[in-house]
Amino acid sequence: MKEKIFAIANDNLTSILEGLNLLDSLESNSLKCNICGETLTLENIGCLYPLNKKIFLCCDKISCIQKVVDLLKPTRRILSEGASNEI
Run means of pLDDT, 10 residues per run, the chain, 87 residues: 71 90 95 97 93 92 93 59 47
24: in domain: yes
Q: Which range marks the domain in which residue 51 is found?
A: 10-86
Which pTM value belongs to this model? Answer: 0.73
- Which residues are bridge partners to 78 per DSSP? 84
2: in domain: no
4: in domain: no
72: in domain: yes
Q: Contact, 87 vs 77, CB < 8 A?
A: yes
5: in domain: no
15: in domain: yes
3: in domain: no
Q: Which residues contact 47 (CB under 8 A, 6 or more apart)?
A: 57, 58, 65, 68
Report the number of distinct structural domains present in the chain: 1
Q: Is 44 exposed, middle or buried (0-12, 13-18, 19+ CB in 10 A)?
A: middle
Separation CA 27–CA 22 (nearest Å): 9
51: in domain: yes
